[in-house]
Structure 1
Amino acid sequence: MNEKLDREIAGRYLISLLAAVLHNEVPPPIPQNLDLLFLYKLASRHSVANMACYGLSRLDPLPDPDKMKAFQEARKKGLAKEARQELEVRQILSALEENYIKCMPLKGFIIKHFYPQPDMRLMADVDILVDHSQMKRARDTMLSLGYTVEHTGGHHDVYHKQPVMNIELHRTLIPERMDRLHTYFESIWNRVKLHAGTSYQYEMSQVDFYIYLMAHMAKHHRGGGTGIRSVMDVWVYRNYYKEQIDGNYVRAEFEKTGLSGFAQSMEGLSEQWFNKKIDQEIDQEVAAYILANGTYGSGKNAVINRFIRETKEAEGFTVAKLKFALRMLFPARPHMEILFPFLHKMPFLMPVCWAIRGMRTVIYRRSRIRQNLGLITYLTESRVEKMKKIQQ
């Protein structure tokens, strides 16, 4: 059996497991030709191995205990991680409140509470929107809580605390490069309301949150790709708030943001996967693409999508690929300003900074050189054309 067929069988069964958990049902039996180790690897790549364990545990008879160990370990780790994240984020939100800093938790920290159990919806990092004028005070607050600064500048600042806490404090909901969506959400602070019992913690309306959920998914799809969990988030949120977010107003807002076609596709796929609506018309190539991804897609997809965005139609593929390789070696100023903030005031030092970046890579990150060379080699005309079709 080839890997593509293995992935199709594992993907279909993984989705049936997750759907059974969402509907509180017993999942179908494990297909005879399905290797549970392969299923575990696929589930892990999509960050749903812990949730899949809940489904497998409902089978009668139970799967071989030895083959269940990896899933059970994922469930234990998921429970511990969710508990730690919940406690830490509550402390962060309280500290931001005490320091009069406007904030709003986003994405996974909100949507996990709409799953049967919050630990079923794991988070690699926790996103919190902060008033951009208060980022310095937010930074001081995070340091006082024992976090280290991993990265500052650009769309968000990143903080870390051992063993599992990764916090992203966002200046904006959507990066500026996605100008249409960035503009739509630029005034979000004017549309939010205070969270009950707080003075500085805010929350979006159900409609705005849903549009943001779809916009964030589109951002990943446009980058490295998106996975099963994101499609499941769409179904879980729509199922919970169906009355509020199904209607002409939401459709009009999707049209306004350019998300209409994408939202329709993802909603249809979520209904087919998690509500057994087999009459939904979906693009099977898009579904296969998402199954082949991980939670946030892959570096290979990201390179192809970036190449498509940055390439002019009039350029031949060979010329475009050469220019693209040079841009990877010598990044543009916005990226370099994140690494070297002083470039904002002294842009004439770009050549020096390129040289410093190159030396750092050679000394400390040689594997990155091999990785980038591999990605450039992977970039072929046929793969670019296939991706264009999927994106359309």
Structure 2
Amino acid sequence: MQPLYDHYLQFIRSSLKNDTSFSGAIPEEEQASLAALAEEHRTVPFVLPGFRNTSFYPAMLQKTKNMMQNYYQIDAFTRHTVSLLEENGIPCILLKGISLAACYPVPEYRKLGDLDLYINEPKALEKAQVLLEAQGYKEEKELSDHHVTYRYTFPKTGRSFLLELHYRVVGMYQYEPANQTVDEVYSPLRLKPIRQTINGFTYSVLPPTEYVFYMIHHMLKHYLYSGFGIRLLCDFVLYLKRYEKEIDFSRIHQWCKASRISHLYEIILKTCRLYLDLPASIDPAINASPETSEAFLIRILEDGDMGTDVSQALVGSGSYRKINLLTYFREGHVQMKVRFPKAGHCPLLWPALWPATFFCFLKNTYTLRNTTLRQTLKDFRKSNQKTTLVRIFENSDS
């Protein structure tokens, strides 16, 4: 791993431990690159002490202040929205955001984007949508299979914020058993939220075991589609440290195995141990090779912080050692079964469903993904390199 990454990770580790004694002298020739890396991963406050006597400090200090101000704005928006829903008898579950920021030594240093709420009851979701739209929340059209997006503007300040109202905790996979596992774990009958008090206000959140499983899938989705920054690994480390005794790791193993993402979990855990000081005593039975973990972390650092849209790329149902026409046909067949879940069970209908699926794929490629068939297939090959590293869904065409 290059020295730049080593130095950057030293700052991250010290910040996660709230080690105020660490200043971390930065070589002059490395300052610009390290500042850019921290900006790219939305972790400027973590490296700020090392830039105190440099020309970069004033701008980075201002970015830190802006991030802290944004935290309190998102906190107010979260409280406003959840209060509105709960006062009208609509239960909702807070995902990520200020819930995870509460695990940080300085919660304001955790970069916040939009507000994510989960409503797993269809009737409650419909009621919430009617209520929100009546209260000035404007729906924003986007390609998503797991949430509806709203923009709300506070009348007095004119500041706008995004709400992602989830009806699934993560988007659909091409691999159906993974979808089934996620649906079972977070179903209304099975999921029992707990309460978390943040800045004097109490929210419903996922129980620790379900929260960890959600974070794994959330990382997987961003890893496949748009990359995720070091921030999600920091979330994972701090959450595990705080709730270790309340997490049923045997259930995590069971659910990961059912989803066929066990290797990803192993890599994430090993990476956090090697580079972010996650104690080896946390789920000690799980392990992965240091070489794979290093390659995984380098890819994360190179990809930068996660994008806001994880639905524009085409990701396969698993990883392939080679890509050829048969691969595309296999993936098209899987898409057909996902798009036509009932009719797809009848082989006699397949000759009609295949061209219908291809037509929908082309339409989405040019109208929703705003790209071309050539670029989509090129991106598919690139995403396969990522899935090969983490061996998701354990697909094999060998």
Q: Same fold (TM over 0.5)?
A: yes
Deviations 1:77-114 (A, max 9, x none): 11111111101110111100111112110122311101
Alignment match, 1:215: 217
TM-score normalised according to structure 1 size: 0.73
Closer/same/farther in 2, CA of residues 192 and 13 from structure 1, 3 Å limit: same
Alignment match, 2:344: none
Count residues in correspondence.
352
RMSD: 4.3
Q: Which amino acid aligns with 1:36?
A: Q
Closer/same/farther in 2, CA of residues 251 and 369 from structure 1, 3 Å limit: closer
Identity across the alignment (%): 17
**How far has the Cα of 1:212 moved from its partner?**
1.5
The one of 83, 94, 109 equivalent to 1:120 is: 109
Alignment match, 1:9: 3
1:317 correspondence with 2:311? no
More helix as a share of residues: 1
**How far has the Cα of 1:353 moved from its partner?**
9.3
Residue 317 of structure 2 aligns to a residue whose secondary structure is helix
Contact preservation (8 Å) 1:132, 1:172: no
Q: Write the distance in 2 (CA, Å) between the matches of 1:287 and 1:144.
A: 45
**How far has the Cα of 1:270 moved from its partner?**
1.3
Q: Write the distance in 2 (CA, Å) between the matches of 1:350 and 1:389.
A: 26
Contact preservation (8 Å) 2:222, 2:306: yes
**Alignment of structure 1 residues 202-351 onto 2, 5 Å:** 202-245=204-247, 247-275=249-277, 281-282=289-290, 283=292, 284-296=294-306, 303=313, 306=315, 308-309=316-317, 317=324
Residue 207 of structure 1 aligns to a residue whose secondary structure is helix
Q: Write the distance in 2 (CA, Å) between the matches of 1:262 and 1:351.
A: 31
Q: Which amino acid aligns with 1:160?
A: R
Deviations 1:36-57 (A, max 9, x none): 332222222222223332x436
Contact preservation (8 Å) 2:237, 2:278: no
Q: Write the distance in 2 (CA, Å) between the matches of 1:300 and 1:84.
A: 25
Contact preservation (8 Å) 2:46, 2:109: yes
Residue 241 of structure 1 aligns to a residue whose secondary structure is helix
Alignment match, 2:87: 98
Q: Which amino acid aligns with 2:126?
A: K
1:391 correspondence with 2:387? no
**Alignment of structure 1 residues 95-244 onto 2, 5 Å:** 95-130=84-119, 131-151=121-141, 154-162=145-153, 163-177=159-173, 178-188=178-188, 190-193=190-193, 195=195, 202-244=204-246
Q: Which of 148-157 and 66-75 deviates more?
A: 148-157
1:29 correspondence with 2:24? yes
TM-score normalised according to structure 2 size: 0.72
Q: Which amino acid aligns with 2:149?
A: V
**How far has the Cα of 1:30 moved from its partner?**
3.3
Q: Which runs of 5+ in 1 are unaligned?
A: 326-331, 335-346
Q: Write the distance in 1 (CA, Å) between the matches of 2:262 and 2:330.
A: 33
Q: Which amino acid aligns with 1:185?
A: V
The one of 9, 33, 47 equivalent to 1:38 is: 33
**How far has the Cα of 1:232 moved from its partner?**
0.9
Residue 220 of structure 1 aligns to a residue whose secondary structure is helix
Alignment match, 2:345: none
Q: Write the distance in 2 (CA, Å) between the matches of 1:105 and 1:299.
A: 20
Residue 114 of structure 1 aligns to a residue whose secondary structure is coil
Residue 25 of structure 2 aligns to a residue whose secondary structure is coil
**How far has the Cα of 1:31 moved from its partner?**
3.7
Contact preservation (8 Å) 2:23, 2:50: no
Deviations 1:332-365 (A, max 9, x none): 969xxxxxxxxxxxx9x9999999989978xxx9
Q: Write the distance in 1 (CA, Å) between the matches of 2:59 and 2:53.
A: 12
